[in-house]
């Protein structure tokens, strides 16, 4: 992962930190906002966060590793979340995961070689009536089965290559 | 937006909304913007409506409103046309021109689009007659279909902030406290602790008191808090202001799950509007009372729904719970007295202040007052959000409102209370659901998730599922929870893999009792519930896995195989065409055969066969 480092726009990072008034209680939200730009929290930002918020680096790391929404490793352009909440589980979420794993050639928790897709499991996204459900970045798709989920993903493949 | 300086301003403003603006006979088309309908393309329906209304030049006669969730998610996208209350389910963009032409212009029904109740086969064109809604009592959720969540005026128009006016100017803080106490309101987030007592205890402790709204909604399968926050955020804000006034707090927080971006957006907007108009901030409506609310976003950790973990998370730390030798009402957020209540609990407060404690406590059972919102999901016909008086039976909720089990399958159990809850079998279907009755059968109310399971659900797999969930969510601080859950998971996984041994069930019971007794926080003490209730009510399924090496529901792959029942098979060939392994062969109109060596037990043939000829053995 060393050579996948992104170019960090430090002005943007500064703006995010300032928008929370350098409030150390807002650390998690600041990290989430940074993640929203890069799809992960670039580790280079950790010492900067620690310094600007006046906290120890160890706290920044422990918050980053405690919360699932923060990843210190680069993730794909499209993050696919398969809901494995109870409602989706009893309606066959496992089949959705299996179908995606074999189509993308990765396991849950991994990112494709071309950095296009990351496949993650989440526990309920509050769309339980329409299960099984996945989200791809901000979009939600429901009422899926083994084959319709691949059609959804193919749409993203197509829009990425066009 | 003008700033309201005093009570008179507020009254005048609300009156001006009533008299002005609305043209007589103006139609309102309410399009559900909830998550369920969004998945089925509500946005396209709305866009088509806007275009069609414009094309027909009806902009002045018709108002289109995107609202929060209407609750009947199964039938989305939902469209309701007011004032008549005409209900069109499962609308698509291409249906819109006909609906506009017939219903909106000429006042006729579009027969094809009218809702037909699957049970009675009767056409029910009006929302109020649809059985799904008719049997509910929608005190908290009823206004969702009339309110644009981004419009504070819409909330005013539905009687919003009337309770706040009353609280600030007609009642003193202690009277409010008493009102909430006598209403019998109990927390909707899980524990069912009496809200009034919590408030009064926090008030007895000195310090800068905080009020917090728990919108972490971690219980998988429950989404009522999302519905309230997205659809009617001002009701939560109003409840929090009243609570803060009652206990003398000047700062509040809403802790929202990261997974709910629309809730964050609508709440942010609502807070801004309340601020601008003078319902938040300094000297609210000239009453001398100051109060403000901030939003904090969670990070996808289930344990952060627990009170002490939530407060640690709010302070910018990892969300690890602490032992509650000192309660959060005394030393909570920033070591100050803190009142934490759930979203739905807060939304009940304005109702109590408006209608009075007596009206509120007239609804429900002896010890559980008011209504409760349940999310009815899983193997049930009418999935969605259902609000009923406490004490309504499971049968009414699942069969009368929920329409029963799809595909003529048999009901097996209903799971309530999320990972801390239990699975309730058929013999308790006539149980009136309230905090205490659910506890009596080994489950809990939790936040109101109700996951219906049919004969195709394996109860051992369900137990394994929940323990697996909790293994990932245990914060790892205490041994009983961290190690106990891991061991239970190990045993359950082995049972599901066909390696169960005699004595495993007893070992699970023993481990469960230990974890229940010695864990640090509520996550651990309730973690064994799904295991213990499934053993209690479905011991025979455990035994089938262990002794007979069979999974009767056909879920645990090593423990079953599919066969084709030659008597039932019509030779239609659907299964053979769908099988990804080409494991099924046979001549047309003759019974087919399944080659076990090729079968991967994916279940496609089982789901596809209309004649129940694929059977689990
Ligand atoms: C592991 C765990 C998770 C919890 N998750 C939630 C939650 O997501 N939402 C919630 O309102 N309460 C949750 N609770 C309950 C809270 O600790 C607390 O009792 C509740 O927010 C108090 O509000 P109420 O009295 O209005 O219900 C959870 C408790 C535990 C032990
Ligand atoms: S269980 Fe999948 S969205 Fe809730």
3-state DSSP of B210-236: EEEEEECCCCCCCCHHHHHHHHCHHHH
Preceding peptide of A132 cis, ω within 30°: yes
Q: Are B103 and B61 in contact (CB under 8 A)?
A: no
pLDDT for the residue B248: 97
* ipTM value: 0.92
Q: What is the pLDDT of residues A34-64, one digit of tens each?
A: 999 999 999 999 999 999 999 999 999 999 9
- Asked whether the CA dihedral B606, B608, B611, B613 is positive or negative, the reply is negative
Q: For residue B21, what pLDDT is reported?
A: 56
Q: What is the pLDDT of residue A161?
A: 81
The stretch A72-83 carries a mean pLDDT of 94
Q: Smallest Cα–Cα separation from A126: which of B344, B218, B185, B402?
A: B218
- Which pLDDT score, from 0 to 100, does residue A4 have? 52
pLDDT of residue B118: 81
* Chain B closest-CA separation from residue A35 CA (Å): 12
Q: How far apart are CA B480 and CA B512, in angstroms?
A: 10
> What's the CATH number for B22-134?
3.40.30.10
User: What distance in Å separates residue A113's CA from the closest CA in chain B?
Assistant: 26
CB–CB of A143 and B457 under 8 A? no
What pLDDT, on a 0 to 100 scale, did the predictor assign at position B22? 55
Architecture of domain A78-161 in CATH? 3-Layer(aba) Sandwich (3.40)
Interface check for A133 against chain B (CB to CB < 8 A): the answer is yes
The H or E element that residue A120 is part of is strand A117-122
Per-residue confidence (pLDDT) for residue B602, from 0 to 100: 85
Asked if residue A5 has pLDDT above 80, the reply is: no
Q: Domain B561-616: give its CATH architecture.
A: 2-Layer Sandwich (3.30)
Are A29 and B298 within 8 A, CB to CB? no
- The whole-chain average pLDDT of chain A stands at 92
In the prediction, which pLDDT does A33 show?
95
Cβ contact B299–A25 (<8 Å): no
Contacts of residue B234, Cβ cutoff 8 Å, sequence gap at least 6: B152, B155, B160, B161, B270, B274
Residue extent(s) of CATH 3.40.30.10 domains in chain A: 78-161
Supply B216's token pair.
């972490």
pLDDT score, position A3: 45
CATH fit for domain B152-361, picks 3.30.465.10, 1.10.540.10, 3.40.50.11540, 3.40.980.10? 3.40.50.11540
Give start-end residues of each CATH 1.20.1440.230 domain in chain B: 459-548
What averages of pLDDT result for each successive group of 10 residues across chain B (617 residues)? 93 87 76 92 94 93 94 94 95 95 93 89 93 96 95 96 98 97 96 96 97 95 95 98 98 95 96 98 97 94 94 95 89 97 98 97 97 95 96 97 93 93 95 95 92 95 94 91 96 97 97 95 92 96 97 94 94 92 93 94 88 92
Task: Give me the pLDDT at residue B420, please.
Answer: 87
Please state, in angstroms and as integers, the Cα–Cα distance from residue B85 to each residue in A27, B24, B30, B104, B612, following that order: 47, 16, 10, 12, 41
B214 CA distance to ligand 1 middle (Å): 7
Query: pTM higher than 0.90 for the full model?
Result: yes
Half-sphere exposure of B419 (CA within 13 A, CB side): 28
pLDDT for the residue A31: 97
Nearest CA in chain A to B553: A90
Query: In Å, how far are A130, B63, B75, B132, B400 from B113, measured between CA atoms?
Result: 21, 21, 12, 17, 23
Residue whose CA is at the smallest distance from ligand 1 atom 1: B523
pLDDT for res B503 = 96
Residue A112 sits at the chain B interface (C-beta within 8 Å): no
Are B64 and B17 a contacting pair, CB within 8 Å? no
Q: According to CATH, where is 3.40.30.10 located in chain B? A: 22-134
Cα–Cα distance list, B111 to B32, B70, B84, B91 (Å): 21, 22, 16, 13
**pLDDT, tens digit (0-9, with 9 covering 90-100), for B418-434:** 888 999 999 999 999 99
Q: Please determine, for residue A162, whether its predicted confidence score (pLDDT) is greater than 80.
A: no
Q: Does A62 sit within 8 Å of B218, measured CB to CB?
A: no
Nearest-angstrom CA–CA distance, B525 and B609: 44
What CATH architecture does domain B459-548 belong to? Up-down Bundle (1.20)
Q: What residue spans in chain B does CATH classification 3.30.70.20 cover?
A: 561-616
Q: Which of B290, B210, B221 is nearest to B254 (CA)?
A: B210
Q: What is the pLDDT of residue A147?
A: 87
Q: Which of B140, B183, B185, B189 best tests ligand 1's pocket when mutated (most atoms within 8 Å of CB)?
A: B189
Q: Is B523 near ligand 1, meaning CB less than 6 Å away?
A: yes
- Is residue B481 within 8 A of residue B527, CB to CB? The reply is yes
Whether residue B299 and residue A67 make contact (CB cut-off 8 A), yes or no, is yes
Q: Pick the ligand that lies closest to the CA of residue B329.
A: 1
Strands B292-297 and B251-256, by their bridges, are parallel
Tell me, in angstroms, the distance from the centre of ligand 1 to residue B483's CA: 23
Q: Mean pLDDT, to the nearest integer, of A139-156?
A: 92
How far is it, in rounded angstroms, from Cα B6 to Cα B278? 9
CA distance B257 to B264: 9
What pLDDT is attached to residue A1? 44
Q: Which residues contact A97 (CB under 8 A, 6 or more apart)?
A: A82, A84, A108, A119, A121
Centre of ligand 1 to C-alpha B294, Å, is: 19
Sign of CA dihedral B598, B600, B601, B606: negative
Is residue B208 classed exposed, middle or buried when 0-12, 13-18 and 19+ CB atoms within 10 A define those classes? middle
List all residues 6 or more positions away from B328 whose beta carbon is below 8 Å from its beta carbon: B307, B308, B311, B338, B340
Residue B79: closest CA among B56, B55, B50, B54 = B50
Tell me whether residues A143 and B39 touch, CB distance under 8 A: yes
- Return the ligand number nearest the Cα of B188: 1
Q: What is the Cα–Cα distance from B328 to B269, expressed in whole angstroms?
A: 29
Separation of alpha carbons A155 and B89, rounded Å = 27
Domain B371-454 fold is Ubiquitin-like (UB roll) (3.10.20)
């Amino acid at each position: 992962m060393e050579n996948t480092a992104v170019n960090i726009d430090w002005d943007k990072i500064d703006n995010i930190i300032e928008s929370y008034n350098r409030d150390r209680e807002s650390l998690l939200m600041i990290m989430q906002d940074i993640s929203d730009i890069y799809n992960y929290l670039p580790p280079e930002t950790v010492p900067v966060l620690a310094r600007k918020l006046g906290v120890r680096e160890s706290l920044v790391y422990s918050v980053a590793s405690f919360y699932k929404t923060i990843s210190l490793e680069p993730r794909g352009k499209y993050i696919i979340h398969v809901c494995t909440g109870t409602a989706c589980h009893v309606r066959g979420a496992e089949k959705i995961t299996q179908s995606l794993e074999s189509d993308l050639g990765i396991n849950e928790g991994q990112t494709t070689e071309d950095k296009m897709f990351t496949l993650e499991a989440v526990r309920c996204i509050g769309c339980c009536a329409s299960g099984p459900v996945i989200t791809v970045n901000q979009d939600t798709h429901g009422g899926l089965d083994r084959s319709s989920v691949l059609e959804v993903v193919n749409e993203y493949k197509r829009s990425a290559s066009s | 937006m003008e700033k309201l300086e005093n009570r008179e301003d507020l009254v005048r403003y609300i009156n001006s909304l009533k008299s002005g603006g609305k043209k007589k006979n103006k139609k309102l088309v309410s399009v559900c913007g909830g998550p369920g309908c969004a998945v089925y393309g509500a946005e396209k329906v709305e866009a088509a409506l806007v275009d069609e209304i414009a094309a027909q030049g009806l902009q002045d006669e018709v108002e289109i409103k995107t609202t929060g969730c209407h609750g009947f998610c199964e039938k989305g996208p939902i469209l309701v046309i007011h004032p008549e209350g005409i209900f069109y389910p499962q609308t698509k963009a291409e249906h819109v021109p006909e609906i506009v032409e017939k219903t909106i212009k000429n006042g006729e029904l579009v027969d094809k689009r009218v809702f037909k109740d699957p049970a009675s086969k009767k056409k029910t064109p009006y929302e109020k007659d649809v059985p799904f809604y008719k049997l509910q009592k929608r005190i908290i959720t009823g206004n969702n279909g009339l309110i644009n969540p981004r419009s504070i005026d819409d909330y005013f128009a539905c009687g919003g902030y009337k309770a706040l006016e009353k609280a600030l100017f007609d009642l003193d803080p202690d009277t409010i406290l008493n009102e909430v106490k006598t209403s019998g309101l109990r927390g909707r987030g899980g524990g069912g602790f009496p809200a009034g007592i919590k408030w009064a205890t926090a008030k007895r402790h000195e310090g800068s008191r905080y009020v917090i709204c728990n919108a972490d909604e971690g219980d998988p399968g429950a989404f009522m808090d999302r519905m309230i926050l997205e659809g009617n955020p001002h009701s939560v804000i109003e409840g929090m202001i009243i609570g803060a006034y009652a206990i003398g707090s000047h700062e509040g927080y809403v802790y929202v799950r990261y997974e709910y971006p629309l809730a964050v957006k609508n709440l942010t907007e609502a807070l801004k509007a309340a601020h601008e108009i003078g319902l938040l901030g300094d000297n609210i409506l000239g009453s001398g009372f100051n109060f403000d609310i901030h939003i904090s976003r969670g990070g996808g950790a289930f344990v952060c729904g627990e009170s002490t973990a939530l407060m640690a998370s709010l302070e910018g730390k990892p969300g690890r719970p602490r032992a509650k030798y000192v309660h959060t009402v005394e030393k909570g957020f920033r070591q100050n007295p803190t009142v934490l209540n759930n979203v739905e609990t807060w939304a009940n407060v304005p109702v109590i202040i408006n209608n009075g404690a007596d009206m509120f406590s007239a609804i429900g059972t002896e010890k559980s007052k008011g209504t409760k919102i349940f999310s009815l999901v899983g193997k049930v016909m009418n999935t969605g959000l259902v609000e009923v008086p406490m004490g309504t039976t499971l049968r009414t909720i699942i069969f009368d409102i929920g329409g029963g089990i799809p595909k003529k399958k048999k009901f097996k159990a209903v799971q309530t209370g999320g990972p801390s809850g239990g699975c309730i079998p058929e013999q308790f279907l006539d149980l009136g659901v309230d905090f205490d009755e659910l506890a009596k059968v080994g489950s809990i109310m939790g936040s109101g998730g109700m996951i219906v399971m049919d004969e195709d659900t394996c109860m051992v797999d369900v137990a394994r599922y929940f323990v697996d969930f909790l293994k990932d969510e245990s914060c790892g601080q205490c041994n009983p929870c961290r190690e106990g859950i891991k061991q239970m998971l190990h045993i359950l996984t082995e049972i599901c893999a066909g390696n169960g041994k005699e004595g495993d069930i007893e070992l699970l019971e023993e481990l469960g009792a230990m974890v229940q007794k010695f864990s640090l926080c509520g996550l651990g003490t309730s973690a064994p519930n799904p295991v213990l209730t499934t053993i209690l009510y479905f011991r025979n399924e455990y035994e089938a896995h262990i002794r007979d090496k069979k999974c009767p529901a056909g879920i645990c792959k090593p423990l079953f195989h599919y066969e084709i029942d030659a008597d039932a098979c019509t030779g239609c060939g659907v299964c053979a065409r769908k099988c990804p392994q080409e494991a099924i062969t046979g001549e047309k109109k003759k019974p087919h055969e399944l080659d076990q060596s090729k079968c991967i037990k994916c279940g496609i043939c089982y789901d596809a066969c209309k004649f129940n000829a694929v059977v689990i053995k």
